[in-house]
Amino acid sequence: MTPFNVRIAAIDDSMQIASLLTALGHDTSNDQVRRNWQAFTSTGNIAYVAATPNGELVGVITLHQMVVLHRPRPVGRITALYVMDAFRNGGIGRELVDAAENELTKCGCGIIEITSNFQLPKAHAFYEHLGYNQTSVRLAKTFAES
């Protein structure tokens, strides 16, 4: 098993983060991640990465928190989690989720949600193994740029 450490992501990680998010199915680029970075982090959002000793990023998790009118405490959300295939089943995903849970509960979140594509049943099994349950369905509609 390759050693790794989980740390808060920095803008200098943007190229590798873009590659990991693209592998997850979110076609993005270094330029897009860099353009969104300030807006993403200035509102309290954060990303963690899993890095090997040589600096290669092998996993990423992105977090979002929001206040909703119908809950007494903020809602935390894991919006993306990806670990490279060659590094799966080594505890990286679990450590990234642990970091996310610690961060979001430290920020006062009373519930943590995970968004995940229907086409990823292995990911859903992983989340259920960690104690997450399906509680709702999320629907989305995409709009063209104007």
Residue 14: give its domain's CATH number.
3.40.630.30
Domain range for 111 is 5-129
> What is the number of other CB atoms lying within 10 angstroms of the CB of residue 21?
20
139, part of any domain:
no
Written as one string, the DSSP assignment of 52-117 is -TTS-EEEEEEEEEE--TTSSS-EEEEEEEEE-GGGTTSSHHHHHHHHHHHHHHHTT-SEEEE---
146, part of any domain:
no
SS3 5: strand
Determine the distance from the C-alpha atom of residue 84 to the mean position of all C-alpha atoms in its chain, rounded to a whole number.
13
68, part of any domain:
yes
136, part of any domain:
no
**Per-residue pLDDT tens digits for 4-31:** 999 999 999 999 999 999 999 999 999 9
143, part of any domain:
no
Helix (H) or strand (E) segment spanning residue 16: helix 14-24
141, part of any domain:
no
12, part of any domain:
yes
Domain count, the chain: 1
Is the model's pLDDT at 1 over the cut of 70? no
Is the model's pLDDT at 89 over the cut of 70? yes
